[in-house]
Amino acid sequence: MKPELPGFYYDEEKNRYFPIKGPIPGAKASSSSKTQQKPDPKPEQETNYQKRTKLKALKLVYSRELNGNVVPVNKKMSNFKEEIQKTQASYPVVWRYESTKHTGDAALKQFQVDVQTSVGLTRKNILVAGSSSGCLSILRVSKAKQVFDGGIDCDPVSVLPLNENNAEEREAPWFVWRPAQPYLALSTISSIQLIGRYDDASENSNPVNRALITTLGSTGRGSIFILNVADEMNTLTPRSLQGNVSSECTIWTADCNIRGSHAAIGTDLGAASVDLETGAGSYFLRSKSDVLALQFHQSGNIVQCGLRNGAIVSVDLRERPGRPLPRLTRHQIRYQSSSKTGQTTKNKQWFELQGNINPSHVIYMPSSLTCLKTLKTSDQYLMASSMDGTIRLYDQRLVKRGVAVQTYEGHVNSHTRIEFGIDPTEKFILSGGEDCYTRIWSIKSGQLLSENKCSDSVPSVVCWSTDERKKDQKDSIIYGAWLGSHEAIFNVM
């Protein structure tokens, strides 16, 4: 019996291998060849992926006892801690929370707050969830089940693993859900961002007690709200846009600077900076292509904007000498248009941008941007995803070459705004797909570590939980991410 080769079949009469696809010259039509010519509906995963997922934590621990922290893996030497983390990512444990249907399918954000209670300030973990129907909910997260007046218990239900004997036991965090009744009249929630960011590495850092909420607007009138979670009332205050920022716009996305003084919003007219205290704003980027994703640079001086036409531009917010804002510089940007079949044509078109940008540093994705994030450990690395299912990692020092330093294969998308998440250690990337599968990749190698279907609807939003450096802190939730879909909210550990 001849060994099987992927993509080929063996013909005993010809005594040779033939490719499965395409015509076979001189071959006779036989029942065996016809059945063998049918390709598999799903391509096989790479051998390295299969080897990786079959690694057992026990074997790694045994190898460490013999070799120290550097252990042999697939005939190569690797770090023990990294291999353990990859093994856990290859076998994720997924929990689905009851009573969370249509709760967090638009936006999710977890953070720690000091809540004023009858016994004084109490530090809590909360998850703010926004839905496409405009419902804003506050979910209190804890390690054990707690009683909360006026709340609805969201019991965790195990979804993965299917075989409990193949995974280690991990406790699921608990939800107590309090629907935010006064906020049900909002339009589709487009983003939830923390106002001000604490230092994750500092144990004495102050928690964040406010969040920025933005909505798309049912009639093209997007809105901005400030959510205060420092008290039990969880007050939501609208913030009217002032200055030259049009109120007749759709707000697709938003981000806040580290100090929490200003926010950047992406609209169908461009990107604008908004003072969170006064509401005064001004455009720093004008474009006829919608700004679907943006993020502040850690310095707070640059905002990276992802456009509907696939371009990623970095806008410098600092004023140039002798050229005060809000006067914007006009630029003609050249890009390659895509045909209906998804193939890039050779005809190059031009579009106009207004802002303090460097046209030679523009990055081009194949389709409309869906998510944009920089790595905190090295802010020169930018990760972006587009609606055609492409996920790439760029080194912004090499953008003139136009080549990504890493790509992540297997993501499925065609028209949905799907957000990906990066874990606090910045070793893994997690994202849902239009096929309802959830996938985890290694950021460094680009290797697909796991893909599992845990929901019957698209997991469109991702929010990673507390930094692992706080794992010794009481009531901290670590090593997990929150997934939001129409079906429910999930926790992946």
Query: pLDDT band for position 162 (50/70/90)?
Result: low
How confident is the model at residue 348, as a pLDDT? Answer: 60
Q: Are 305 and 290 in contact (CB under 8 A)?
A: no
* pTM confidence score: 0.78
259 class by beta-carbon count within 10 Å (0-12 exposed, 13-18 middle, 19+ buried):
exposed
Tens digits of residue pLDDT in 260-282 = 999 999 999 999 999 998 889 99
Distance CA 153, CA 367 (A): 41
Across 107-121, 200-214, 262-276, 460-474, which has the greatest mean pLDDT? 262-276
Distance CA 131, CA 138 (A): 12
Take residue 268 and report the two structure tokens written for it.
């169908």
CA torsion angle for 83, 89, 93, 95 (degrees, to 10)? 150
Please, what is the end-to-end C-alpha distance for the chain in angstroms?
44
Tens digits of residue pLDDT in 53-64 = 444 566 666 566
CA atoms within 13 A on the CB side of 471: 7
Question: Which string of DSSP letters, residue by residue, matches 216-230?
Answer: --TTS--EEEEEE-S
Tens digits of residue pLDDT in 52-92 = 444 456 666 656 655 566 666 666 667 777 777 788 888 88
Classify strands 251-256 and 481-484 as parallel, antiparallel or unpaired: unpaired
The percent of the chain in helix, strand and coil, each rounded to the nearest 5, is 10, 40, 45
How confident is the model at residue 441, as a pLDDT? Answer: 96
Take residue 125 and report the two structure tokens written for it.
């973990």
Q: Are 286 and 362 in contact (CB under 8 A)?
A: no
Take residue 168 and report the two structure tokens written for it.
């280690």
Who wins on pLDDT, 46 or 319? 319
CA torsion angle for 431, 433, 435, 438 (degrees, to 10)? 0
Q: What is the mean pLDDT of residues 346-353?
A: 73
How is the beta sheet containing 311-316 ordered, strand by strand? 291-296, 302-307, 311-316, 363-364
Tens digits of residue pLDDT in 7-34 = 677 787 777 777 775 444 444 444 444 4
Distance CA 427, CA 87 (A): 13
Q: What is the average pLDDT value for the chain, to the nearest integer?
A: 77
Amino acid identity of 35? Answer: T
Query: pLDDT band for position 422 (50/70/90)?
Result: very high
How confident is the model at residue 40, as a pLDDT? Answer: 44
CA dist 35 → 12, 15, 17, 429 (Å): 14, 18, 15, 39
How confident is the model at residue 166, as a pLDDT? Answer: 43
Residue 11: CB atoms within 10 A of its CB come to 18
Selection from 167, 98, 169 nearest residue 139 by Cα: 98
